[in-house]
A and B are shown apart, each in its own frame.
Chain A
Amino acid sequence: MIEYPVDSGQDRALPADPGKQVTRDASGVGIAVGLSGFAFGVMAVSSGLSVPQACALSLFVFTGASQFALVSALASGSAPATAAAGALVLGLRNCLYGLRLSTLLRLPRWLHPLAAHWVIDETTVVALAQRNRASARRGFAVTGVTLYLFWNLTTLGGALGAGALGDPAAWGLDAAGPAVFLALLAPMLRGTVERTAAAGAVLLALAGLPLLPAGLPVLVAGLAAPLALLVAGRRDGDGAGTVPGPEAV
């Protein structure tokens, strides 16, 4: 674990009270992204779900992209099994995040069933951005708590208010999701390998969209990660140990 200072488990020279800074940044992400639960609540109910159904999704699925995918599939008349399969495929990336987080956070085994529910895009990104294990754990927990709280409260608010609001698209709320993903992605694009992976993923996703069932283009685009490593390896001659960890702040 030489490439990632976060994995050394040792504190380095840090600014005064880094814990407070981590808490502030993490709760900022949690609150901002959590507020977009409003868009989900509105969309779910205007797609024909009941308020309890919209809330159950945010409480128990708690991974935004899968929730949006499930609702839009059901609204377009997919069979329940097909809709669930699409949502699950989209949720598979959380498995990869979990793999990454398990070595970063090194949580005790008894905490896994609880922590697992919070293994999503935002908590992973915040945890990976920290420079040591203590900060990563704090970032993960604070993002998880605030995001879970706000996401569920705003889902309820959006679901209850959907009738009054009308079409969520008229309010531009359908742009909140991609803007959130872009804001999470931007700080990761530090090196050539990361940019290659992102560009490759965009091309694969666009090519896959008309060809593959919903949910699969994202997974196919994930292949851009190993492809970018191959390209980088070829450029460097051997590629061993030359790829910088994007989280090494």
Chain B
Amino acid sequence: MAVWSAIIATAVGCYLVKLLGLSVPAGALERPAVRRLAPLIPVALLAALTVLQTVDDGTGGLTVDARAAGVAAAGGALLLRAPFLLVVAVAVAVTAGVRAVGG
């Protein structure tokens, strides 16, 4: 029951947050400062999510493990202009490979 209550709270909260952003009057974005800032926010959040999901050990600590090798390989694939699915596949394969040899 506790798990279901957390799931329902998350679902309702996450939906309302999305709806709020979409429904705020358009005028809120017409100011130049907001217009310059808005496209930079996803850049900052995606960069943070990338690095956090690579090094977070799940307990608030930093760790460099096979994931880092996988994500670095994905970065290399991106530099070579690999398509999206291949980039993700490279990351998964390299991570699994490094783990398999004991990384």
Q: Please list the residues of chain A having a beta carbon within 8 angstroms of any beta carbon in chain B.
A: 1, 3-4, 28-29, 31-33, 35-36, 49, 53, 56-57, 60-63, 65-66, 70, 72, 74, 76, 80-81, 83-84, 87-88, 91-103, 106-107, 109, 112-113, 115-117, 119-121, 124-125, 128, 169-186, 188-189, 193-194, 197-202, 204-206, 209-210, 214, 217-218, 221-226, 228-229, 240-241, 243, 245-247
Known: A49-B3, A185-B47, A198-B43. 18 other contacts (CB 8 A): A4-B35, A33-B84, A83-B10, A93-B45, A95-B20, A100-B39, A112-B22, A119-B21, A171-B96, A172-B93, A175-B66, A176-B88, A183-B78, A185-B46, A200-B44, A201-B45, A218-B48, A229-B33
Q: How many A-B residue pairs have CB under 8 A?
A: 307
| Contact partner, B47, options A53, A62, A202, A214, Cβ 8 Å | A202
Q: Please list the residues of chain B having a beta carbon within 8 angstroms of any beta carbon in chain A.
A: 2-7, 9-11, 13-15, 17-24, 26, 28-30, 32-33, 35-56, 58-62, 66-67, 70-71, 74-75, 78, 83-85, 87-88, 90-97, 99-100
- By Cβ-Cβ distance, the 5 closest A-B pairs, closest first, are A98-B21, A172-B96, A172-B95, A179-B91, A221-B48
SS of B interface (majority): helix
| Contact partner, A98, options B19, B44, B83, Cβ 8 Å | B19
| Contact partner, A185, options B24, B32, B43, Cβ 8 Å | B43
Determine the chain B residues whose CB is within 8 A of the CB of A113 once the complex forms: 19
- Chain A CB count within 10 A is highest, among B48, B78, B93, for B48
Are A117 and B15 interface neighbours, CB within 8 A? yes
Distance of A223 Cα from B44 Cα, bound (Å): 8
A95-B18, A175-B92 known; A185 vs B70 contact (CB < 8 Å): no
Determine the chain B residues whose CB is within 8 A of the CB of A83 once the complex forms: 6, 10
SS of A interface (majority): helix
| Contact partner, B29, options A53, A81, A100, A224, Cβ 8 Å | A100
What are 13 contact pairs spanning A and B, CB under 8 A?
A63-B18, A94-B21, A96-B38, A100-B39, A102-B23, A112-B19, A116-B21, A125-B42, A175-B91, A181-B49, A182-B78, A194-B40, A197-B44
Determine the chain B residues whose CB is within 8 A of the CB of A209 once the complex forms: 52, 55-56, 60-62
| Contact partner, B3, options A60, A80, A222, A225, Cβ 8 Å | A80
Are B20 and A87 interface neighbours, CB within 8 A? no
Are A95 and B21 interface neighbours, CB within 8 A? yes
